[in-house]
Structure 1
């Protein structure tokens, strides 16, 4: 293999073969003449997405002409404190034909979004008996895959739209908390400013899709707007506390509010959640969402609509067949609504705090790593 061939434009690797254990034994035990094969050095990882990356490296000229394959050891890094690369425990060992570098490693069956990986590489030559002679392993490189792109979020959006169902009218948004949240300052409630009587935006947790670009980044306040089918009013049960702040819908969503689709997921249950973001036009949250989230038509979407009537008033509707989690990106004054105790139960099993998405659900998963 010549120098010019190694530095040729990237070639996308659509399919990588997994070594079986018998095949990988020769790589780990070093059968063959390893001294004549160059060891990959200065590994570079680039063009990282949620389910792909490009890899390249430098090599000495000695033995290049003998290289027929690359062995790529890709390991999901479970703990940041552990920095030991254990080849025998690596579930994904990939064999690729020696192609021009950089090459693209792509595959939703083994790459997950927003996940830390360790990677090492060997060069190899396939021998007449089918075994491989291999080089020493390269240095270990660590990298993290990216969040879902807008393309992936659009796929989620289409799946969510197919599940949303008919629209029902509503008039208020509501937010449940413990009594202490509304009455006194506490280190347990950092999204509450008791002195200024405000509810303050807090960073979204890791609930929902693993590749969601808003988890751990977007600041906001969670609200609900779902109603009971038989009463048309908010349900009296909540997993988040027995005290409910309730506010008229037009305070949070009006003609100067933008709506964005954030996520679609379930938690091993039959019902599904849709996360929407409400951001006042030009606000910090609005600027953030414009870059990464699909925007929805305020008056015509399948989840949460705000329509101006002939008399100038606003009417609101929400999707019946999904549970909406609405994130409002700005502080909300407590005196703009009311706080009352609900009469129902506190159903902790329905809490979505840091809830993990069901990776096997065919309704809310897309064709990239979960």
Structure 2
């Protein structure tokens, strides 16, 4: 009887051992089963500093994946060997979440910049190592411009630097003789709007998209007149301020930046109400009150026969983009009165200082 009981006990223990071994084999097999390569990578809801990403996964991988590996880099610095270490997490390890997954804050993404991204799925094993899939195909995408909320942050910073308002009477544009010769002989005397370059904040919505004629209005403290010297050329086109700044004009804030210097630039847009330029700016840029803003103001006359008053900020350099053509006959072209001109200087495509705490905001540069 005791022998039978012992034999039955051994049989039960053997069955339990085999069952446990089979369960372990099943678990090990499941853990060692390769993960499928992520496919059909999709990027959506792209902003200047964030995006959402999703891809196709098998139901089995969806159930067991514990982490996602994401490799992101600027497209221009793309390295074909970047993914050679298949089983090593690269730039971001994120816990697996339902897709699409929001990606922001992990990198300092720059606005309007081309990136390439690839992903792996992974299962964290008991020993801490990862079972990983092959890298997906590399997908390219481009981040967006500053949204209105970002421009408002930039505007708030610019207001702090604007300084007191000074009176002025003319807008002006300095250029070399060849420029005005071309305008007279090739353009019928019309300064035509040109496409805004990429200088300043990379995320400004007007860069490379809005056409205009750049003008200045800053004056000297002691005379109240435009500076006698100019870095842009010895000839100056001047036009009365009221021709461009009046109740029929919309005024927009477009940018605030510096170029590794102590002084800062504010870019403003003047667009006739209802014009194509006005239509472009209205949903993209903060509109300023003509009579009450810290940069450029128009004050209507109080009595018949009086002239309106025009004022500009004193502690920043204003760059005013007028979105319509300007005929030279609307103003005058004269030699500037300074005895010398400054060396040629241009802000074309100049890069904003990304380290400046005065003019940068908390999103991509």
TM-score, length-normalised on structure 1? 0.85
Does 1:341 pair with 2:335? yes
3-state SS of the aligned residue for 2:47?
Answer: coil
Counterpart contact for 1:50–1:114, Cα < 8 Å: yes
The residue aligned with 1:41 is 39
Q: State the alpha-carbon separation in 1 of the partners of residues 170 and 106 from structure 2.
A: 41
1:127 Cα offset (Å): 1.8
Counterpart contact for 2:69–2:90, Cα < 8 Å: no
Indicate how the Cα distance of structure 1 residues 50 and 193 shifts in structure 2: closer, same or farther if over 3 A, else same: farther
1:85 Cα offset (Å): 6.3
Does 1:357 pair with 2:357? no
Which consecutive residues of structure 2, in runs of 5 or more, have no partner in the other structure?
1-29
The residue aligned with 2:325 is 331
2:282 to 290, 300, 313: 290
Query: For each residue in 1:28-51, what CA deviation from the matched residue of structure 2 results, as whole angstroms up to 9, or x when unmatched?
Result: xxxx97752122111110000000
The residue aligned with 1:16 is none
Counterpart contact for 1:37–1:64, Cα < 8 Å: no
Counterpart contact for 1:265–1:357, Cα < 8 Å: yes
Query: For each residue in 1:87-126, what CA deviation from the matched residue of structure 2 results, as whole angstroms up to 9, or x when unmatched?
Result: 379x971110000111110127421110100000000111
Indicate how the Cα distance of structure 1 residues 40 and 88 shifts in structure 2: closer, same or farther if over 3 A, else same: closer
1:193 Cα offset (Å): 6.9
Does 1:100 pair with 2:98? yes
Which consecutive residues of structure 1, in runs of 5 or more, have no partner in the other structure?
1-31, 186-191
The residue correspondences of 1:237-276 to structure 2 (distance < 5 A) are 237-276=229-268
Counterpart contact for 1:77–1:118, Cα < 8 Å: yes
Counterpart contact for 1:39–1:60, Cα < 8 Å: no
Indicate how the Cα distance of structure 1 residues 138 and 193 shifts in structure 2: closer, same or farther if over 3 A, else same: farther
Query: For each residue in 1:327-364, what CA deviation from the matched residue of structure 2 results, as whole angstroms up to 9, or x when unmatched?
Result: 00000010111111222423334x21111000011110
2:109 to 95, 98, 111: 111
1:237 Cα offset (Å): 2.2
The residue correspondences of 1:119-130 to structure 2 (distance < 5 A) are 119-130=117-128
Query: For each residue in 1:225-274, what CA deviation from the matched residue of structure 2 results, as whole angstroms up to 9, or x when unmatched?
Result: 00011121111222221111011101111110110000000000000000
Counterpart contact for 2:108–2:363, Cα < 8 Å: no
Counterpart contact for 2:193–2:211, Cα < 8 Å: yes
The residue aligned with 1:307 is 299
After TM superposition, the structure 1 stretch with the greater mean CA deviation from structure 2, 107-116 or 286-295, is: 107-116
1:218 Cα offset (Å): 0.5
Indicate how the Cα distance of structure 1 residues 88 and 236 shifts in structure 2: closer, same or farther if over 3 A, else same: farther
1:184 Cα offset (Å): 3.2
Count of equivalent residues: 330
3-state SS of the aligned residue for 2:363?
Answer: coil
Q: State the alpha-carbon separation in 1 of the partners of residues 42 and 349 from structure 2.
A: 33
Does 1:71 pair with 2:69? yes
3-state SS of the aligned residue for 1:183?
Answer: helix
Indicate how the Cα distance of structure 1 residues 138 and 265 shifts in structure 2: closer, same or farther if over 3 A, else same: same
Q: State the alpha-carbon separation in 1 of the partners of residues 322 and 187 from structure 2.
A: 21
TM-score, length-normalised on structure 2? 0.86
Q: State the alpha-carbon separation in 2 of the partners of residues 94 and 108 from structure 1.
A: 8
Q: State the alpha-carbon separation in 2 of the partners of residues 347 and 88 from structure 1.
A: 51
Query: For each residue in 1:123-147, what CA deviation from the matched residue of structure 2 results, as whole angstroms up to 9, or x when unmatched?
Result: 0111222221210001111000000
Q: State the alpha-carbon separation in 2 of the partners of residues 85 and 302 from structure 1.
A: 52
1:229 to 221, 224, 242: 221
More helix by percentage: 2
Select the structure of larger CA radius of gyration. 2
Query: For each residue in 1:33-77, what CA deviation from the matched residue of structure 2 results, as whole angstroms up to 9, or x when unmatched?
Result: 775212211111000000000111111234433311000010111
Q: State the alpha-carbon separation in 1 of the partners of residues 258 and 210 from structure 2.
A: 20
Q: State the alpha-carbon separation in 1 of the partners of residues 99 and 40 from structure 2.
A: 13
